[in-house]
Structure 1
Amino acid sequence: MAQAAVKREVTAPWNDPQAVPLIRFEGISKRFGDFTAVEHVDLAIHKGEFFSLLGASGCGKTTLLRMLAGFEIPTTGRILIDGQDVTEVPPYERPVNMMFQSYALFPHMSVADNIAFGLKQDGLAKPVIKDKVAAALELVQMGRFSGRKPHQLSGGQRQRVALARCLAKEPKVVLLDEPLAALDKKLREATQLELVNIQDRVGITFVMVTHDQGEAMTMSSRIGVMNAGCIEQVGSPVDIYEYPGTRFVADFIGAANMFQGSVRGGEGALAIACPELEHDLSVTEAGAVAAGTPVTVMVRPEKVMIARDKPASGLNWAEGVVSDIAYLGDVSIYHVRLASGRKIQALRTNLHHGEESRLTWEDPVFLAWHPADSLVLTK
């Protein structure tokens, strides 16, 4: 029987200056010969977090995870777990357990024996091992498969066994290296929520590496976006998506319309000259930016309204023709070409049957968005 979803307690210890992080990376760098994989990373992760390191291949996220696990030693800096310096402590002496992308299950062992393996290595008594294995199997709803071998399980079931093996040893930190990459789309989406609910029940800190933006956004309490060995920004999924701190983060997370321009000035709202548009952009709540400063203005496609009629005053707007349409069922993404040749994306939810056919290729349209839905980026 499927278990009910757990309501996650919304806390933010990272906003409390008195809160003591469980994990600290202090000035961590890692070089392989002349190649720098990780460059001076400072990062704090708190107890009970589901923290994701997100980035493209080669950005350094897996190297950072492997240093936390003890499989790599930093070139500079130190790593602390629960106040203990573990920088040069071997993996088997750290209070962490790692779930690999391949799951790394022993093919000749049953599910129960796979989970019990690490507990036996620790020298626990047989009754204790039996109880811990049973509890881990119940947690991942795999009790009736305890006697099966890995080859007799589906990909999703093997993933659960690998997680149960990690949790059975009750580590302070569980490390997940692309844990859902081998699953198909529907199973991956269902498993995302299962993992979050399990993590919430056990209260153990999870640190996950992923290149999948949707996965990180769905599962994480906070996300660290990595680029070229550095952490560009750390924040909640809402902060990362709605308020990216750099052009890289804005462009990497989701889709974004980016306009290059310079600040003319303004009070209460910035006026920004943009050569690609026929008029200035207006941006409210942009903070203090000096006139003449080159900036990038970001607008998410779902914030952009598309219609045949010219919008009311007070909105940013542009005029163009529909050049491409991506129909995705629940939404349609319109690519609109302006007179300058620039293309802007607008997302429309298909609320009613026939919604997708109301606008088509080469239709003249107007785009509009509120000044408050734009974000000014200076980095």
Structure 2
Amino acid sequence: MAPPSVKQHVFAPWNDPDAKPLIRIEGVSKSFGDFSAVNKVDLDIYPGEFFSLLGASGCGKTTLLRMLAGFEIPSEGSISIDGVDMTDIPPYERPVNMMFQSYALFPHMTVEQNVAFGLKQDRMPKARIAERVKAVLDLVQMSSLAARKPQQLSGGQRQRVALARCLAKEPKVLLLDEPLAALDKKLREQTQLELVNIQDRVGITFVMVTHDQEEAMTMSARIGVMNAGSIEQVGTPVEIYEYPATTFVADFIGTANMFDGVVALDEQSHTVVDCQELDARLVVGHSSGVAVGAPVTVMVRPEKMMVQREPPEERVNCAHGVVSDIAYLGDISIYHVRLASGRKVQVALTNLRHTSEQRLTWDDEVYLTWHPANSLVLVQ
């Protein structure tokens, strides 16, 4: 998984109690007949933030984005931008612009004409239009192709033109609906960082909808993980990945091994969980705040696990099984270990040596262990 942007470590207005959000969503719901697409969402998004709504298809993220744009009206709740209630404000009067997944470029217009279209609709003076179009085309490195038409451009180039057209009107908020979905993997990875750099330079608040967790992790200052119309957790990429608030978030972001058990001991520095499935005691390096005897789930990421062929001295934070599948991915290998119960656990090991041989092979008997600090208690 790609590392988070450096910007995330220095940009954190949500931690400042005096910071005012640019976008405030309060108790927003949206129903279509008997179907509830969005359910009582509360969310603050700050000026200059790159915020992502992440979730599977049908979770409500696009509906929420369309309500921000004014294309859908909330069934209840309110949305304000820069302190102004947007309830009765039509889309064309909102301080937002939307970049669609299809890019929606006019095929009969040149790149320059596409970018200038919205400015002409606003009756901006010609000299100012020319100045603004040149500035945004320079920003997205498309000035040399200003005379071309969309059908003469690659997918990545069309994406840049669509972005330039959105930025030309200098909105307070730019909404992006799966903006990189049409690009191939290599171009998508390159464009992710370019978009982050452009957003940082223009200082406009970006709100992006995506189902791609790597995309959200790479580009976002914060992520809102959505499930069944609600936001399960909002946090930085590090918070979402390392400290998921629910089993859904833990399972949706990356890969997680989860073991059910009951709390045997809860202290300030650690929690002990009895796990019948592993026939072992699991020690977690934090207090769960859960009563003894309560059912919980212990989460361990595959890259946090260690593998050994000999049994450990103590049956603490230990799982025993047989290697059933191996996925070689170049930089890492994913090992699927089948436990006695039939359950499979995933382990990710970095391939440090330049060799064609796997350190483990099929049907090897192994023991998996992990440090208490590398696991997390999730309440069921």
Same fold at TM > 0.5: yes
2:120 is paired with a residue whose SS is helix
Q: Is the 8 A contact 1:315 1:370 kept in 2?
A: no
- Corresponding residue for residue 289 of structure 1: 290
- Corresponding residue for residue 71 of structure 1: 71
Q: Distance in 1 between matches of 2:266 and 2:140?
A: 57
- Corresponding residue for residue 100 of structure 1: 100
Structure 2 residue 371 is the aligned partner of structure 1 residue 373:
no
- Corresponding residue for residue 359 of structure 1: 360
RMSD: 1.5
Q: TM-score, normalised by structure 1?
A: 0.96
Q: Distance in 2 between matches of 1:312 and 1:346?
A: 21
Which piece of structure 1 moves more, 354-363 or 113-122? Answer: 354-363
Structure 2 residue 27 is the aligned partner of structure 1 residue 27:
yes
Q: Distance in 1 between matches of 2:250 and 2:25?
A: 25
5+ residue gaps, structure 1, are none
Q: Distance in 2 between matches of 1:239 and 1:312?
A: 33
1:188 is paired with a residue whose SS is helix
Render the CA deviation track for 1:90-127: whole Å, top value 9, x for unaligned. 11100000000000000000000000000000010000
Render the CA deviation track for 1:118-150: whole Å, top value 9, x for unaligned. 000001000000000000000000000000000
Q: Percent identity?
A: 72
Structure 2 residue 281 is the aligned partner of structure 1 residue 272:
no
Q: Distance in 2 between matches of 1:6 and 1:364?
A: 41
Q: In the superposition, relative to structure 1, how do residues 355 and 290 fare at CA in structure 2: closer, same or farther (>3 Å)?
A: farther
Q: Distance in 2 between matches of 1:219 and 1:8?
A: 9
5+ residue gaps, structure 2, are none
Which piece of structure 1 moves more, 189-198 or 262-271? Answer: 262-271
Q: Is the 8 A contact 1:315 1:371 kept in 2?
A: no
Structure 2 residue 299 is the aligned partner of structure 1 residue 301:
no
- Corresponding residue for residue 126 of structure 1: 126
Render the CA deviation track for 1:318-372: whole Å, top value 9, x for unaligned. 2211011111111101111122222211100111122752210001111110011
- State the shift of 1:311 in Å: 4.0
Q: Is the 8 A contact 2:266 2:287 kept in 1?
A: no
2:73 is paired with a residue whose SS is coil
Deviation above 6 Å: which 4+ runs of structure 1?
A: 5-9
1:357 is paired with a residue whose SS is coil
Q: Is the 8 A contact 1:326 1:332 kept in 2?
A: yes
Q: In the superposition, relative to structure 1, how do residues 47 and 301 fare at CA in structure 2: closer, same or farther (>3 Å)?
A: same
Which piece of structure 1 moves more, 110-119 or 338-347? Answer: 338-347
- Corresponding residue for residue 212 of structure 1: 212
Q: Distance in 1 between matches of 2:305 and 2:169?
A: 49
May I ask how many residue pairs the two structures share in their alignment?
Answer: 375
- State the shift of 1:7 in Å: 6.3
Alignment of 1:5-44 (within 5 A): 10-44=10-44
Q: Is the 8 A contact 1:31 1:37 kept in 2?
A: yes
Q: Is the 8 A contact 2:266 2:290 kept in 1?
A: no
Alignment of 1:242-281 (within 5 A): 242-267=242-267, 268-281=269-282
